[in-house]
Amino acid sequence: MAESASLWSILALPLVLGAFAVGAATVDARLGPGSVPGPGREVLRLLVQQRRVTNAADQLLLRLGVTLLPVAAVLAAVVVPFGFTALSDLPDGIVWFNAMEALAWAAVWLAGWGPNSALSMIGGYRFLAQGLAYEIPHMLAITTAALGAESLRVGAVVDAQSGLWFAVWMPVAFVIYLASALAMAFWGPFDQPVGSDVAGGAAAELSGVDRILFLGGRWLLLTVAAAAAVPLFLGGGHGPLLPGWAWTLIKTAAVLALLLWVRRRLPVLRMDRYMEVAWVALTPLAIVQALVVALVVLGR
């Protein structure tokens, strides 16, 4: 059973999440070709950079968008348990997680709209198209995990996996979740919203602190998506010998490593193509997976 955490963990949550994101970004930079600057140097460079100002920009919406992205990522992490303790194990935690990631849709669109620049706006619009493509199979995948535990509480989903992990008997939902984790953070094969073919898309005009918040928020989002795969499909803190928190760390790091690897192995997908795959293939597959899980649950 997940316990509720003490007050100081409100401060600890963004720090742990941030540390994980910086770690992943460092590893990714090391793997990169040539001399890609690590996150530390990049942040310092951006901090002293002069802010780029575009003509007739909507500053309010731009700031709102770039700030909302990391905030949404941290808020989504509130229900993700560290070991067996979540900051707040809401009775509807899975819906909360989904709602917070939906805020990222709004955030990316706002950041793309704000600078009054065509390429940025194309990036923002691309993310909405991507959201429409990935969200339905994604929702069905996380609903399947909730269905297996017969609860929307993330703690209950972890409890239900003290024996068999959900990833083992819901493989389709797990794979769809991993794909949508990449899409949610518009990263790797799904980075068209900030793609190089539109000169950086939604991030094209961002500079200085705005850019740190936006790209940092994207790393946080990727970390949260990887971290949420652990309680939803990989047994949460359950595991032999080691304590729960250690297993959470190991499993989250493993999922993040997989996502980093996928980025280097797969080309960027065109959204119209992925849209068709998502709606014609992934959605029916996810529904069949949910049906199988529902029948198993009914038969128990």
Partner 1 sequence: MLSDGAFYVLSVLAVASGGLVFVFDSMARATFSLLTSLLCVAGVVILLGLDYLGIVIVLMMTIEMAIMAVFMIMYMMNPAGLMPMTMVHNAKGAGLICGVLFALLVAGIFLAPWPAIKGRPPEDVTMDLGLSLMGPQMLTMMTLGMALFATIVSSVVLATRRGRYDRLGDDLDAEAADDPVRGGVGR
CA distance 202 to 155: 36
Q: Which of 37, 40, 91, 243 binds partner 1 (CB under 8 A)?
A: 91
> Is 89 a residue that touches partner 1 (CB under 8 A)?
no
> How many C-beta atoms lie closer than 10 Å to residue 121's C-beta?
20
Distance CA(272)–CA(219), nearest Å, equals: 25
Nearest CB to partner 1, comparing residues 28 and 135: 135
CB burial of residue 87 (10 Å; 0-12, 13-18, 19+): buried
If one asks whether residue 275 binds partner 1 (CB under 8 A), the answer comes out as yes
User: Contacting partner 1 (CB under 8 A), which of 27, 61, 175, 199?
Assistant: 61
Residues 6+ apart with CB under 8 A from 231: 80, 81, 154, 157, 158
Q: Which one, of 220, 228, 223, lies nearest residue 72 by Cα? A: 220
With binding defined as CB under 8 A, does residue 242 bind partner 1?
no
Q: Which of 16, 43, 71, 95 binds partner 1 (CB under 8 A)?
A: 95
Residue with Cβ nearer partner 1 (45 or 273): 273
Q: Which two tokens stand for residue 57?
A: 């920009």
Q: Which of residues 67-86 bind partner 1 (CB under 8 A)?
A: none
CA-wise closest residue to 14 among 88, 104, 77, 63: 77
Retrieve residue 232's tokens. Answer: 């939803």
Between 29 and 129, whose beta carbon lies closer to partner 1? Answer: 129
Min separation Cβ 18 and partner 1, Å: 24
Question: Given the rule CB under 8 A, which residues bind partner 1?
Answer: 58, 60-61, 64, 90-92, 95-96, 98-99, 102-103, 105-106, 109-110, 113, 125, 128, 131-132, 135, 152, 270, 272-273, 275-277, 280-281
